Amino acid sequence: MATVKELKATARPKAGKGAARAERRAGRIPAVIYGNNQPPLTISLDDAELRLRIQAGRFLTTVHDIELDGKKHRVIPRDFSLDPVRDFPLHVDFLRLGEGSKIRVSVPLHVLNAETAPGVKRGGTVNIVTHTIELEVPADNIPQYLEADVGKLDIASSLHITDIKLPPNVKLLTRDDATLVTIVPPSGYNEELKAAAAAAGGAAPAAGAAAAAGAAAPAAAAGAKAPAAGGKAPAAAAAKPAADKKK
């Protein structure tokens, strides 16, 4: 069961820009509740309390019970606008939730075990590609986040949406082949791989050249011995005429 927050509201009988500005001057934020085949309700909320809810995070995925004139309305925020300069809320839209209704929400992704990932230990960086995942879920069972365990990812490895576990009764609206997280190589990693590949490729020719040089040495030595042996024969032949001369 999703956590349900409570807000107290007052009716806002007048609509329009002038009435909205008057509410803000009084320290209240104009809002509207719509949906579930019922007429819209124009309301206002306490400015300070609404700011705290928005700043706490997960505002758009949190179910609220808005109490108005003694009656509670089960809603979920669909949109809100902020002042572009001072960053305070200007208006909020709430969707009324009927019993057993399903809604479309964007759920944030939480990365687990990044510090134990082999790729991170080797100098890589975790890169979150998809920060939120679109789901269709029961209004009373909205997950606060989905978990992506990257503890086994190496450099240049990725985690896809099919690798994570989804809660029951949830329909995935994001592409089922979407990449969630990758481990980015450190600076200079590709150059190191190229240098290693070049070194491995150059080792084989060097070994072949050594073998060829080793084979050439005996052949050269054998060739050098042949003329030396042949050179002794003329010397012996030259001695024979000298012996004939003595006679």
Model pLDDT for residues 81-137, shown as the tens digit of each residue:
999 998 899 999 999 998 888 999 999 999 999 999 999 999 999 999 999 999 999
Out of 41, 73, 98, a domain closes at: 98
Position 197 scores a pLDDT of: 81
Domain that holds residue 89: 4-98
Domain finish residue from 75, 98, 121: 98
pLDDT tens digits, 197-230 = 888 876 545 444 444 444 444 444 444 444 444 4
Q: Note whether residue 204 is domain-resident.
A: no
Scan for tokens 């949109």, then name that residue. 79
* Residue finishing a domain among 171, 189, 207: 189
Nearest Cα neighbor of 98 from 3, 170, 12, 33 is 33
Residue 230 within a domain: no
The answer, yes or no, to whether residue 24 has pLDDT greater than 60, is yes
d(CA 106, CA 172): 11
Q: How far apart are CA 204 and CA 222, in angstroms?
A: 28
What residues does 67 pair with on adjacent strands? 8, 72
Instruction: Return the pLDDT at 14.
Output: 76
Choose between 47 and 187: higher pLDDT: 47
Residues 59 and 107 in one domain: no
The first and second tokens of residue 107, run together, are 């759920």
Instruction: Name the average pLDDT for the chain.
Output: 83
57 and 114 in a single domain? The answer is: no
Query: Is residue 207 a part of any domain in this protein?
Result: no
What is the phi-psi region of residue 188: left when phi exceeds 0, alpha when psi lies from -120 to 50, beta otherwise?
left
CATH code of the domain covering residue 65? 2.40.240.10
Say if residue 86 is in the same domain as residue 165. Answer: no
Residue 177: give its domain's CATH number: 2.170.120.20
Q: Which of 48, 51, 11 is nearest to 31 (CA)?
A: 11
54/120 same-domain check: no
Whether 84 and 116 map to the same domain: the answer is: no
Q: Are 117 and 178 in the same domain?
A: yes
Q: Does 130 share its domain with 87? A: no
Say yes or no: 47 and 63 in one domain. Answer: yes
Range scoring the smallest mean pLDDT among 60-69, 117-126, 165-174, 212-221: 212-221
pTM as predicted = 0.67
The number of distinct structural domains making up the chain is 2
